[in-house]
Structures are given as C-alpha cells and as structure tokens.
Chain A
Amino acid sequence: MASTDVIVQEVSRRDDSQRFVNDFSLQVATVNGSGSQSANTILLRSIFQMGIPVSGKNLFPSNIAGLPTWYTIRANKHGYIGRKKEIDFLIAMNQETAREDVLSLSPGAAVLYDEPMNLASLRPDLTFYSVPFDKIVATVCPEAKLRKLVKNMIYVGVMAHLLGLDMVQVENALRKQFAKKVKAADLNWGAAQAGFDYAASSLSKKDPCRVERMDKTAGKIIVDGNTAAALGSMFAGVTVVTWYPITPSSSLVETLIDYMKKYRIRPDGKATFAIVQAEDELAAIGMVIGAGWAGARAMTATAGPGISLMAEFAGLGYYVEIPAVIWDIQRVGPSTGLPTRTSQGDVLFTAVLSHGDTKHIMLFPASVEECFSMAQDAFNLAEWFQTPVFVMSDLDLGMNNWMSDPFPYPTQPIDRGKVLSKEDLDRLGGFARYKDVDGDGIGWRTLPGTDHPAAAYFTRGSGHNEKAQYTERPDDYENNMLRLARKFEGARARVPKSVQMGSGRERVGIIAYGTSHWAILESRDQLRNEHGLESDYLRLRAYPFPHEVQDFIENHERVYVVEQNRDAQLFDLLRLDLPVEQVGKLRSIAHCHGLPLDARSVTDELMSLEGN
C-alpha cells in the first residue's frame, strides 16, 4: 500500500489549506541545557491559551548539557493529544542534528532554522525559513553571556507570527513562566517581540500550519503525570515517603516535597509527613514496608532498575501482608536501557515480582487525572488488601505536559482497612493475624504501639500460620498460600473498572492500557474514517483483571492487545489469566522503540493483521 498512499496524502496535504489549521505537529531541535525548555513551554501555553488542544513531549538525552534534545508540540482541534508520527514543522536550532532532522521530514513540511546552518539547499520539497538568530539577539540582549539563554525566545516570536499566535497570549505565557523573575521576563519578552518583528518584516508565510482561536481548553490545566501523582498522594494522606533518585521518577517525589512543605506543615511548624532520601531502592522500599507495618500511608517512586532491586521486599510485603504503594515510572529496559525514553516494559515482571508464588495489584493510569485519582486508589487498595500496590505510570505520562480537566477533590474517605484498636481488642480478647474471619482472605491486623497485652503478633517472612507463629507444616503453608490467592482474586472486584468505548457489537475489539490509550483514541477514528472499520475498545486500568475483560473478549471475534514493549507483556498476562478458548482470539500489537506510541503505527499494523 505504501507508495501510492504516500502520494495521495502528499497531494491532499497541498490541496487542503484548512487541514493544518489547529492540526499540526511542531518539533524544536535544540541542545539540552540551552534554556529551550522555557521557550517550548511558552509556545505550548500560548497555543493552549488560544483554546486549542495541545500536548508537549520532550525527547531528551540522559545527560545534563550539550546533547541533542527534541521537543514536540502537537496542536489538534479534534483533541488528539498522543504523539503524531509525522512532524509538520521543524525548528532546527542544533547544528549537530539539523541535517538528519531535515532529511527525515515528510514532503511538504516546513523548517525554521538558524541562518548559518544554511539548510535550505538540502531538500526542494520543504518550506524553509531562515532567521539570523545571533544578529537579532544582539539587538535585544546587550549582555553577551546571556544571549545563549535568550536566543531561543526568538523562535517563539517568529513562530507566533508564522502560526498566527496572539502576542498577548505569548506574553501571558511568558510572564507565567518566569513568574517572579521580572528582569528575566522583560529580557525574554524583548527577544520574543524581536523575533515577531523580524518575521513580520522579513518572512513570507508559505506553509499551511496555522492556529485559529477555539474554545476547547477553557478551564483546563496543563500538568505532567508526576506532578499529578504527587498531588494525588498528598490528598490521599500519605505520611511517609522514601525514595532513591532515578529518572524518570525523581520529579514525582521532588514535586511532592514542594507541595508537602507548602500544605502539610502545621501552624506550629511540625510536619505531618516524613520524606527520606534513602541510600538505594532496597532501603527505600524497606522503609515503606516498615512504615506500612507500623501504620503509616507509605510510598516510594522508582523506575525499572529500582523495581528490580525491590523484588525481595515486594515478596516480603506480599507474604507478610503489609500495605505499600510503589510508583513505577516506566522507562526503557532491560538494565540501564534508555533512561529517558518511555516504555510499558515492567508490567510482566512487576505482576509477579519476587521469588516464590507472588502476585501484585497493579494500576495503569492513562492520564494525569488518573495519576491523581489512582494515587488515592492505590493507598485504599494497599490498606484494604494489606499488600504492595504498584502504580504503573511511564515516562511519557510522568514527565510530559498533558492537558486535563482540573482534578476533582477526593470524595472517597481515607480507608485504612482492617485495623484493630485497643478497644476492639478489649471487646474481642485477642485475635489471629492471618485468620480469614470475614471470608475474603484478609485478616485483621494491629499496629505496633497498640496499648493492649494481646495486640502484638510476630511478623515474619518465614512460614507462618494463622496466628503468625513459625511453622514448616505443609498444610499451614498451603492453606496460607491458598488464602493469599483468594485474597488476590477478591481484588478483581475492587480495583478500578475497565473503561469501554464503542457500540459493544463490533467484531473487532482493542485492549490497551496506560498511555497507549491516546494512540488508540485516534487510531479508532482512523480505522473508521480511512478503512471503514468500527471497533470496540476496552481500556484496562488494573491487574488482577476485572471480570468484564472476559466478557469483552467473549463478545468479539478478534481482540488486539496494544502495548509499548517488545514481548507483548500484558498480552502474556492475559493469556495466563483467560480460559483457554479465549486465548486464541487475542492478537498482539507491540511497539518498543522508546517513543510514545502513535496512532498511525497502530492503525497500519492493525489493518495489516486484518489482512488489508
């Protein structure tokens, strides 16, 4: 199909002047450490403030300064905020990558570049804008050593002119970005204006990318998933946070520290929390387990390498039944992998993290709003089921900017689960820690420090019976393990339900989770509009899989499981979970390049698997 389709697309691109209005992908190629992040955020916000749905994705190196970085802003009037495969407009600021960046563009795309790079001769099928950044910056920034930082603001002004951005919105975004740093704001605003003036006087618009005011972002916020997770955790009542720095999870805890210092210090100066940077991830989760045992709402945040180190404690937490919340902001593995690229590659490992028979509850947030709400779900589930709960975010969700409705204030009470107080013990006389008195596999626990002679029990990772006593008896071991399995089964009904879209009567079903969601939303429209293929969609939000998953598979001829890893990890978990007659219906679509999944790739592969 490829060659003819490309030509058709290209023709329609040129013909349809409306097509790129509020629908384009703009990429800024810079060097990290050059201050481009501010310029990019201001561009993003300016488009957002004009009412156009927008998303920003930072493709950055595992490095502090001097290596190539690409930031992609996607504006889309339909509200598609996943990654778009094609780049429509390139801002080339990095000599090192400019040639390859330009050569990889689709025909018809536009390029704005720093004049000395002289890129215009590279391709005849692109639109080029040449801007003498150094000359312009010299006129607005007398201080030579600041020019490097201000230079990037010039493309904001140039783009404002070329795209038709309202400079009032640009200034609003700029002043918000620099907040209290008025001098820096003034200097940068001057640079943006100079860029705008240069474009107005010296460039003539030749590409189709434009913005027109819309009303699709009114009341919305822009936030990254790690910030949302931090906020969710604060409102979930977290009291102990222990962590070890690792990309891409560090910003979750660092943001949490900022919010907690601001909102969780009492008037007497005392903190209602303790946050500790541990010596490694082993200690981070060990502290969480210790704190959870003693009754705190305790959490840590990490990424794949940390998850590997936490395996031993995860098994302990499962077996001795201690609540814990672990955020995994997934990045590309195995080993160090690509620390600054996104992935859903920890799902299979985390599901059974530990030696011995172990199963863990996992939550799959797809949006910043779910990072906020699942932070609360995670604690409630962890304390209810007395077990570690893993929230499987990823770098794309955690570190990139997403548009969202404001988060609703939590309505669910903080559920501390089955904890016996001194008064309960007075009434009961005693208790057996691991006895299934309620038939749900969940025993009652007491907290250390409970002032009752019968409160204490012995927590041990070795074999234990209902009374938490040491045992090596085969029946004690087996009964305990079967109870743990029953408890885990019970979680199916209590974890966040799947979200379903579509008529429910189509032949083709799609299952996805986490950030793959955004590609699926768009891909289903592509399948319908371009191929006449209607689909139903089930978005999984948790493991163990809720009961509706089997019904969904039952009701479809073929079900595509879409995810961002090589080995089809969730597909594998489904295969383990489903009745054998359903397994044959599953097809895998798995991508593992480290970039956020895009709709086009899903559509193409799905149609190819459909036999088209």
Chain B
Amino acid sequence: MATTSSAEPKTNRIGLTVIDYKGGRTTLCAGCGHNAISERIIDAMYEMGVQPERVAKLSGIGCSSKSPAYFMSRSHSFNAVHGRMPSVATGAVLANHNLIALGVSGDGDTASIGIGQFVHLMRRNLPLIYIIEDNGVYGLTKGQFSATADIGSKLKTGVINDLPPIDTCALAIQLGASFVGRSFSGDKRQLLAMLKAAIAHRGTVMLDVISPCVTFNDHEGSTKSYKYMKDHDEPLQEISFIPSFEEIDVDYDPGTTVDVTMHDGSHLRLRKLDVDYDPTNKLRAIATLTEAHHEGETLTGVFYIDPNKPTFMDLLHVTDEPLATLPADAVRPPKAVLDEVMESLR
C-alpha cells in the first residue's frame, strides 16, 4: 500500500493516515510474533477505516497483554488482571455497545488462569474480537509451558510436555462463538484478511494466532516455533475479504469458493484448498480440528462462522444509546414510581 511517492500521505476512507493507528514503541523481544500481530491489527483497522476513538483495547497479563500499548494510541485501552480480561471487556461492552472491543490475550492468560472467563465469554457471543497470541509458553516468567503446548514439545531446558493441549478454537466453536479461526503471525496475508473480517463481524470473534516466542520457544523440539509452523502450517482455505464499502470486482467459483456475506454486507471469501470444507458446520469444524491434531498439522483458516447469530447485546435488548451516557431522567424513574412502590409496601 505504501508504494505511492506523492507528497500527500495516503489516507483511508475516513481521512486518517496509517500513522494515526500507531502505538507506542514495542518493548517486546525483537522478532516476537506479537509485534507482527500488532502490525496486522494496525493495517486492518486502517484499511477498514475504523475510527480509532471507537475502539476499546482490552487485555489481561503477560507479553501478549502488553501489546495493546504498541498499536492504536488513539484508542482507550485497559490492561486488566491475569485471565480476567473477558469480564472487563464484557462490562465495557455492556456500558457502551457502540465500542469496537478488541481483546488481546495470551495462551497462559486464556487457557490456564483465564479459562473460566474465556468459556463463558464464548458462550455469550458478546460482540468482541478476542485474539490469543499463542506461543505455548509463559514468556514474562521465562518460559514455562502453557496449556496450549502440544504433548511432546520440549522446553529449552529439556523438559518435555506430557499433558494434552487445550484447543481454544474447538472450545470456542462448541461454546457459541460465532467466528472462530486460527492464523499464524508469520502469514501476513491470511491474518490481515481474517482481522478485517473480524472487524466486520457482529458477535464474538475468536482468533488463535500462533505467535512464536523467539526467546523461550523457538528451538528444535518446539511445536510453536517459526520453523515448525513453516513445516506444519496447513491452511484450510485461501482467504480474501471484500469490505462493504468496496465494489466487488472479482467473480468467484461456487464450486471452489465459499462466499460468506457478513452482517454489514462485507464478503468473506474462502477458496478451498485440499479439502471440501463448510465453515458453517460446527460438528465438521470440530472433527476437522481433531483430525488435523492427530496428524500433527497446525490447521489455520476460518473454522467456523455464523454471521447472523444474535449477540449477547441483542438478547439484553438495551437502548441504542450507550447505557453509560444515558441522561439522568432516563435512568431515574419519576416520583410517581416511588410513590407507587411505597404504597405497595404499606
């Protein structure tokens, strides 16, 4: 996109430059997958023309959860407590459902200490983008295994993991998230398309992004290293995304491509690669994930999507205006109501 040499900086559809989506300088290790994810988030938000002030960034604790400081400084951000980002995010969305809530978590923050809040968040299909920056280890405490580490994967210290991993994607699909996928921080194209579709989606988007830890889990014997992903990343589909504000200028072949019309009129196009895959079939999605796991492949792509499932906010049926800023006369019933209640208690 930055190939133009004109003096005027390139702007998006709301007149902002990509600089307007930048964050602070990263303090993560050079080469950390999380930095690449931050970059893709910036690109996706910029290309989708999202007003940064409408975005609320939420995170828990860990390397991943630090990363919201490194993108979109014009968005409010809340770095909460370990494993509890889902509840904070839920509260924020309850208060103001016009926010675009972007949660960033890690595999430890999600699959261990935060698994309770994670599963209940998925159940509710709250409008929220939930990204797991998944490297299989606790980086900030120097490289202990997390609950997404595969059986048999090896720490730098030689310790072998002998417990099965939690597949956050399978869990999210089973529990009710309406858009679930996996990507790899090193796959710019796939991750960007998925993030843009995530922004267009209404409901819980759960993206597990394999994001190698260059310091503690990028060695021989790791199943979350750059090399391992290069050898075992098995994309389900070739993903393209056409936002609602762009003309559709490419036809697709219904025999090879699934076209998903998103809630806002955008199109998510999934061109099938090896297998014939239907991303609207929950059972098939979980079976496919299980099979890939048995074969030692890391499947990536959009596993499941239901663009029209009612969200938690639909069920709550709240006012169109944010609850947070309703005027006093909308939230304090008149004196006649108190009189009526008092009369009933006499």
What residues make up the interface of A, taking CB atoms closer than 8 Å to B?
219-223, 227, 231, 234-240, 242, 259, 263-264, 266, 269-274, 276, 278-280, 282-298, 312-313, 316, 406-407, 409-410, 413-414, 446-453, 455-462, 470
CB contact list, B8-64 vs A, under 8 A: 20, 51-54, 56, 58
Alpha-carbon distance A448/B332, docked complex (angstroms): 23
Q: Nearest Cβ in chain A — how far from B148, in angstroms?
A: 21
B164 at the interface (CB under 8 A from A): no
Most buried by A among B86, B320, B338: B338
6 new A-B contacts at CB < 8 Å, known A286-B117, A290-B94: A237-B328, A239-B324, A266-B330, A286-B90, A453-B52, A458-B79
Contact A290:B331 (CB < 8 A) given known A278-B87, A453-B74: no
Alpha-carbon distance A537/B84, docked complex (angstroms): 45
Contact A295:B95 (CB < 8 A) given known A271-B316, A283-B120: yes
Q: Nearest Cβ in chain B — how far from A180, in angstroms?
A: 13
Assess whether B338 is in contact with A448, with CB atoms less than 8 Å apart.
no
What 1/0 mask marks residues of chain B from 284 to 324 whose CB sits below 8 Å from any chain A CB?
Answer: 00000000000000000000000000000000111110111
Q: Nearest Cβ in chain B — how far from A259, in angstroms?
A: 7
Assess whether A456 is in contact with B91, with CB atoms less than 8 Å apart.
no
- A234, A312, A446: the one contacting B333 at CB < 8 Å is A234
Most buried by B among A286, A294, A410, A453: A294
Assess whether A296 is in contact with B324, with CB atoms less than 8 Å apart.
yes
Q: Which partner residue on chain A sits nearest B84 by CB separation? A: A286
Q: Nearest Cβ in chain A — how far from B315, in angstroms?
A: 10
- B86, B317, B320, B345: the one contacting A283 at CB < 8 Å is B86
Q: Nearest Cβ in chain B — how far from A155, in angstroms?
A: 25
Chain A residue contacts of B317, Cβ below 8 A: 269-271
Chain B residue contacts of A313, Cβ below 8 A: 81, 84
Q: Nearest Cβ in chain A — how far from B161, in angstroms?
A: 28
Q: Nearest Cβ in chain B — how far from A160, in angstroms?
A: 20
Alpha-carbon distance A282/B331, docked complex (angstroms): 27
- B84, B99, B345: the one contacting A449 at CB < 8 Å is B99
- B20, B52, B95, B316: the one contacting A290 at CB < 8 Å is B95
Chain B residue contacts of A298, Cβ below 8 A: 91, 94-95
Chain B residue contacts of A287, Cβ below 8 A: 87-88, 90-91, 94
Contact A449:B346 (CB < 8 A) given known A282-B117, A292-B91, A293-B92: no
CB contact list, B59-96 vs A, under 8 A: 68-69, 73-81, 84, 86-96
Assess whether B98 is in contact with A449, with CB atoms less than 8 Å apart.
yes
Assess whether A447 is in contact with B346, with CB atoms less than 8 Å apart.
no
Alpha-carbon distance A414/B331, docked complex (angstroms): 10
Chain A residue contacts of B322, Cβ below 8 A: 294-295, 449
B341 at the interface (CB under 8 A from A): yes
Number of residue pairs spanning A and B whose beta carbons lie under 8 angstroms apart: 222
What residues make up the interface of B, taking CB atoms closer than 8 Å to A?
20, 51-54, 56, 58, 68-69, 73-81, 84, 86-96, 98-99, 116-117, 120, 316-320, 322-326, 328, 330-333, 335, 337-338, 341-342, 345-346
Contact A272:B331 (CB < 8 A) given known A221-B342, A263-B337, A295-B95: yes
Q: Which partner residue on chain A sits nearest B316 by CB separation? A: A274
Chain A residue contacts of B52, Cβ below 8 A: 453, 456
Q: Which partner residue on chain B sits nearest A223 by CB separation? A: B345
Assess whether A237 is in contact with B53, with CB atoms less than 8 Å apart.
no
Assess whether A272 is in contact with B92, with CB atoms less than 8 Å apart.
no
Assess whether A240 is in contact with B91, with CB atoms less than 8 Å apart.
yes
Alpha-carbon distance A447/B52, docked complex (angstroms): 14
Assess whether B80 is in contact with A316, with CB atoms less than 8 Å apart.
yes
Assess whether B330 is in contact with A449, with CB atoms less than 8 Å apart.
no
Q: Nearest Cβ in chain B — how far from A590, in angstroms?
A: 34
Assess whether B92 is in contact with A459, with CB atoms less than 8 Å apart.
no
Assess whether A286 is in contact with B80, with CB atoms less than 8 Å apart.
yes
Alpha-carbon distance A235/B332, docked complex (angstroms): 5
Assess whether B87 is in contact with A290, with CB atoms less than 8 Å apart.
yes
Contact A290:B91 (CB < 8 A) given known A453-B74, A455-B76: yes
Alpha-carbon distance A496/B293, docked complex (angstroms): 61
Chain A residue contacts of B80, Cβ below 8 A: 286, 289-290, 316, 461
Ordered by A's residue number, 11 sampled pairs between the chains whose C-beta atoms are within 8 Å are A235-B338, A240-B91, A264-B331, A269-B317, A270-B318, A283-B87, A291-B324, A296-B94, A296-B96, A455-B76, A461-B80
Q: 4 closest pairs, A vs B, by CB?
A: A290-B91, A286-B87, A295-B324, A296-B95
Assess whether B77 is in contact with A410, with CB atoms less than 8 Å apart.
no
- A295, A409, A470: the one contacting B96 at CB < 8 Å is A295
Assess whether A282 is in contact with B84, with CB atoms less than 8 Å apart.
yes
Assess whether B323 is in contact with A296, with CB atoms less than 8 Å apart.
yes
Q: Which partner residue on chain A sits nearest B319 by CB separation? A: A270
Assess whether A407 is in contact with B338, with CB atoms less than 8 Å apart.
yes
Chain B residue contacts of A447, Cβ below 8 A: 76, 96, 324-325
- B53, B116, B323, B328: the one contacting A280 at CB < 8 Å is B116
Chain B residue contacts of A462, Cβ below 8 A: 79
Alpha-carbon distance A242/B37, docked complex (angstroms): 33
Chain B residue contacts of A460, Cβ below 8 A: 78-79
Q: Nearest Cβ in chain B — how far from A110, in angstroms?
A: 30
Assess whether B323 is in contact with A272, with CB atoms less than 8 Å apart.
yes
Assess whether B88 is in contact with A449, with CB atoms less than 8 Å apart.
no
Alpha-carbon distance A462/B328, docked complex (angstroms): 34
Contact A239:B91 (CB < 8 A) given known A313-B81, A458-B77: no
Alpha-carbon distance A286/B117, docked complex (angstroms): 10
Contact A240:B337 (CB < 8 A) given known A221-B345, A290-B88: no
Q: Nearest Cβ in chain A — how far from B21, in angstroms?
A: 12
Alpha-carbon distance A460/B67, docked complex (angstroms): 12
Alpha-carbon distance A273/B94, docked complex (angstroms): 9
- A293, A413, A449: the one contacting B53 at CB < 8 Å is A449
Assess whether B76 is in contact with A457, with CB atoms less than 8 Å apart.
yes
Assess whether B120 is in contact with A290, with CB atoms less than 8 Å apart.
no
Q: Which partner residue on chain B sits nearest A316 by CB separation? A: B81
Chain A residue contacts of B68, Cβ below 8 A: 458
Alpha-carbon distance A414/B333, docked complex (angstroms): 12
Q: Nearest Cβ in chain A — how far from B310, in angstroms?
A: 15
Assess whether B81 is in contact with A461, with CB atoms less than 8 Å apart.
yes
Chain A residue contacts of B341, Cβ below 8 A: 231, 259
Assess whether B90 is in contact with A276, with CB atoms less than 8 Å apart.
yes
Contact A293:B78 (CB < 8 A) given known A220-B346, A240-B323, A452-B53: yes
Chain B residue contacts of A448, Cβ below 8 A: 56, 75-76, 92, 96, 99
Alpha-carbon distance A264/B317, docked complex (angstroms): 12
Alpha-carbon distance A584/B13, docked complex (angstroms): 72
Alpha-carbon distance A288/B84, docked complex (angstroms): 12
Assess whether B69 is in contact with A470, with CB atoms less than 8 Å apart.
yes
- B53, B77, B96, B323: the one contacting A451 at CB < 8 Å is B53
- B79, B320, B323, B346: the one contacting A461 at CB < 8 Å is B79
- B53, B84, B318, B337: the one contacting A455 at CB < 8 Å is B53
Alpha-carbon distance A406/B342, docked complex (angstroms): 6
Q: Nearest Cβ in chain A — how far from B306, in angstroms?
A: 22
Chain A residue contacts of B92, Cβ below 8 A: 290-291, 293-294, 448
Alpha-carbon distance A593/B62, docked complex (angstroms): 45
Assess whether B73 is in contact with A288, with CB atoms less than 8 Å apart.
no
Chain B residue contacts of A292, Cβ below 8 A: 91, 95
Q: Which partner residue on chain A sits nearest B20 by CB separation? A: A453
Assess whether B95 is in contact with A239, with CB atoms less than 8 Å apart.
yes
